[in-house]
Amino acid sequence: MQPTLQGTAVENFREYLRIPSVHPNINYDDCVAFVQKQAKSLDLPVQLFEPSPKHPILVITWEGTEPEKPAILLNGHMDVVPVFPEQWTYPPFDAHMDEKGNIYARGSQDMKCVNIQYLEAIRRLKLNGIRLKRTIHVSFVPHEEVGGSPGMKEFSQSQNFKNLNIGFALDEGIASPNNDFLVFYGERSIWHIEIKCTGKPGHGSLLPDNTAGEKFTKIINRFMEFRAKEKARLKDPSLKIGDVTSVNLTIVEGGVQRNVIPKELNANFDIRIATDVNHEDFEKMIQEWIRESGEGITCSFPEKNPCVENTKLDNTNPFWVAFKQACDENGMNLEKGIFTGGTDSRYVRAAGIPAIGFSPIINTPVLLHDTDEFLNKDVFLRGIEIYEKLIPAVANV
């Protein structure tokens, strides 16, 4: 990679990191201006969609020589999670680079690096006079960090998205602390469940029947017993966290005074359902727990993702075959798995499009959403070289 191109790539990365597109109450105007400037520097058109006011989606397009073929989507989100600046060694939106070449900033791993790597790889391919068969769309989307709405969730269901004619997508993965590149072909379904337990109120010195607290204890115990069983399964070295169903109690609400038995207690759970679990059976199990725990208990689902088919990693998916072959030719060892959290890939897969989660970050501590998030300059630059191989591989299928 030419020194001038290296410098441009790093500076573009750091400039993007300095935009504080941080929750809550994000103003995406500077992100829009930045992406439009990048599109101009690449001499490529950019479309601006706004499924919801102040939640822009930008798509830079590099038309292929056979534009009638289904296109390739390279997706990334513009938003980043909140920070606690006093806990950081360097200000989290300064993009400080130390003497080792480590660039410290919120979003350096999750996931502003990947979008810039896409663009810089395209820049090099264009400068080398390379044309690809399939059209490439590079998307910059909002609000992934809060569930993808308004953002890819709505966009993936829109006519504007259908008009892009996507046949395969790449999205974010996660950093790897060793020399293995992590590849994700599916995601667990996110269910957020709120349990409300109602019962007889009264004086805190008495022992009345049918209290909310008794029911509350029973239902929580059911969830936590299930959690313990799933956690025990991880003793099997062949299983990772993405292979089991996670259950965590996240919010507890209720009570008015220490000496008053409340008439209602509420519990919220974050559940990530493993991809091999039948959703109907899982919900029936929860309803049975509720029935066993007593009358006056209800549940609701603030979020209830449907079951989405995993992307196939076999010969039936020519894009995967091309992706893996390019990795093999470049000496990259891949470790495949189910993503632990939730990304915009789930909405792309739900639209019937095969998608792979991949961030070319190795030998790096996993610091997404953490203090002192950083990415080393050389690791970042190598990622561009990797995409220089991967993008033509999948685009020329």
Cα separation, 179 vs 166, in Å, equals 31
- Residues that are catalytic: 79, 144
Please, are residues 201 and 260 in contact by the beta-carbon 8 Å criterion? yes
Angle in degrees, 0-180, between the axes of helices 279-293 and 212-233, rounded to the nearest 10:
140
Cα separation, 127 vs 237, in Å, equals 46
Cα separation, 243 vs 392, in Å, equals 32
Please, are residues 383 and 74 in contact by the beta-carbon 8 Å criterion? no
Please, are residues 82 and 22 in contact by the beta-carbon 8 Å criterion? yes
> What is the helix (H) or strand (E) element at residue 238, kind and residue range?
none
Burial class (CB in 10 A: 0-12, 13-18, 19+), 270: middle
